[in-house]
Structure 1
Amino acid sequence: MQKIWICGAKGQIGRAINEVIDKLEYKILDTDIDDLDITDTDEVLRFGEMNRPDVIINCAGLTDLQECEKNLAKAFKTNALGARNLSIVARKVEAKLVHISTDDVFDGKSQKPYTEFDETHPKTAYGKSKLAGERYVKEFTYKHFIIRSTWVYGLGNNFINQLLEKVDQGENLSIAGDQFGSPTSAKELARFILHLIQTNEYGTYHATNKGVCSRFEFASEILRLTGKQVEMKPVVTHMSDFSRERPAFSVLDNFIMTMTPVYDFPDWKESLKEYMEERGLLNEK
């Protein structure tokens, strides 16, 4: 039975992996910040050497964009040095390492979807710290999968929950009509990760649901599926009620997957409907 160590197990992707994984096939080692500090090199090494996982999945990270800007040292300590420590122990115990990254490693100014071969130009502290983490992963371990995704939603705090909370409060909403991305299900990402770790197709992957929409179109589809109604209008990003710090263009091209057919993501609307149904949010009328 393979051992999988999930760091950041209480986050959206960590929880999704636990939801879809076959517990009879794998032994799961779940840790989060209360259990283990990935920025503590000795603590990480002790845990890794004691448990000797076959796969380490790094879902941990400081993702709050404002907090990253305010506390640069904390951002790099968590997102870069944490990734370095997990890479060191992965190499030491010969484990495969899955590292979750982000579209924020790009500047968001492109007119076409970013491929894995495009130059990275992060503009935010979050993006810069995540890119530094990617570089440590590449430096310290060779059996790695770096996975960049965008607009991820799952169990936990996300755009869907924030939107529906404001809708239930009866607020009129202003949603960015000039931000574009591919809403991506954490559960679908989890399925992809579990498939990928059975291969030796190491490297960097862009992994998102198919299709592209604006933030306003995403919100409109959420309301359509729930049957909720509220006055909502598309606005420019700086006037939006949500996502003011997000880049304008977050569209990733799953380019490697078109050349190495390791997985096929469904359309974003299909996965969103599955999520809504499982959470009891889908209006059946």
Structure 2
Amino acid sequence: MLKVWIAGAEGQIGTAINEILDPLEMETFNTDRAELDITNTDEVLSFGEINRPDVIINCAAITDIALCEQNPELAYRVNALGARNLSLVARKVGAKMVQLSTDDVFDGHAEKPYSEFDDTNPQTVYGASKRAGENYVKEFTHKHFIIRSSWVYGKGNNFVNGVLAAAKRGESMSIPQDQYGSPTSAKDLARLILHLIHTNEYGTYHATCKGVCSRYEFAQEILRQAGLQGQLCPGATNEADHYLARPAYAVLDNFILRIIDLYAMPVWQASLAEYLEEREG
């Protein structure tokens, strides 16, 4: 039986992994802040040596853009040093390491989708701290899967749930129509992760659902599929404080997945439909 340690198990992706894994195939060690502090090197090493996982999946992160800007030390402690500590354990016990990353490692100024071979150039503390985490993973373990995604939604606070809540309250929403990305469900990322960990195809991957839309188009589709009437006001990035720090162009090209024919992600509208159906179920 495969032993899998999920750090940050209560987040969107950690929750999704636990929902779809087969407990007869995998023994899971789920930890979050209450159980284990990934920034505490000794604590992490001790947990890893006692449980000796075959796979470590790092879903733990500080993702709040504003919080990262206000408290960069916290951002780097969790997003960079946390990844380093888990990588040290992975190397020590011979485990495979899965590191979740983000489109924010890029500057968002491109005119075509970013591939895994494009240079990173983060513009925020969040993006820079996540890139630092990637670098630690590369430095300390060779058996790694670094997975960058964008516009992820699942159980918890995210764009989809925010739009639905605002529509039900009858609130008007100003949504940027000049931000572009590929909405990606946490469940689809979880499926990819569970596929990857059974392979030796190590490296960095871009993994988003197929298709590209603007934030405004995404919000429109959320309301359409949910059968809700919402008050959407098309805006620009510089008019919406909440999105000020996000890349304007967050489109990732799943280049490596495609050229090695390893895994095909679904179209984003179909994944959204699955999510909304399960959410209402």
Q: TM-score, normalised by structure 2?
A: 0.98
Report how many residues are paired: 281
Structure 2 equivalent of residue 151 of structure 1: 151
Structure 1 equivalent of residue 17 of structure 2: 17
Give the % identical residues.
64
Verify the 8 A CA contact 2:9 2:15 in the aligned structure 1.
yes
What does 1:217-256 correspond to in 2, within 5 Å? 217-240=217-240, 242-256=242-256
Structure 2 equivalent of residue 63 of structure 1: 63
Partners in 2 of 1:18 and 1:142 — Cα distance?
Answer: 25
Structure 1 residue 111: Cα displacement? 0.5
Verify the 8 A CA contact 2:172 2:230 in the aligned structure 1.
yes
Runs of 4+ in 1 over 4 A off after TM superposition: none
Partners in 2 of 1:233 and 1:273 — Cα distance?
Answer: 23
Amino acid at match of 1:41: T
Structure 2 equivalent of residue 45 of structure 1: 45
Verify the 8 A CA contact 1:175 1:241 in the aligned structure 2.
no
Amino acid at match of 1:56: I
Partners in 2 of 1:13 and 1:97 — Cα distance?
Answer: 15
Structure 1 residue 94: Cα displacement? 0.1
Q: TM-score, normalised by structure 1?
A: 0.97
Amino acid at match of 2:71: N
Structure 1 equivalent of residue 173 of structure 2: 173
What is the DSSP-based 3-state SS (H/G/I as helix, E as strand, rest coil) of the residue aligned with 2:199? coil
Partners in 1 of 2:122 and 2:275 — Cα distance?
Answer: 30
What is the DSSP-based 3-state SS (H/G/I as helix, E as strand, rest coil) of the residue aligned with 1:279? helix
Partners in 1 of 2:162 and 2:259 — Cα distance?
Answer: 37
State which drifts further: 147-156 or 257-266: 257-266
Verify the 8 A CA contact 1:109 1:249 in the aligned structure 2.
yes
Structure 1 equivalent of residue 189 of structure 2: 189
Q: Aligned-residue CA RMSD in angstroms? A: 1.0
Unaligned runs of 5+ in 2: none
What is the DSSP-based 3-state SS (H/G/I as helix, E as strand, rest coil) of the residue aligned with 1:43? helix
What does 1:261-272 correspond to in 2, within 5 Å? 261-272=261-272
Structure 1 residue 161: Cα displacement? 1.1
1:135 aligns with 2:140: no
Partners in 1 of 2:231 and 2:61 — Cα distance?
Answer: 35
Structure 1 residue 164: Cα displacement? 1.4
Amino acid at match of 2:183: P
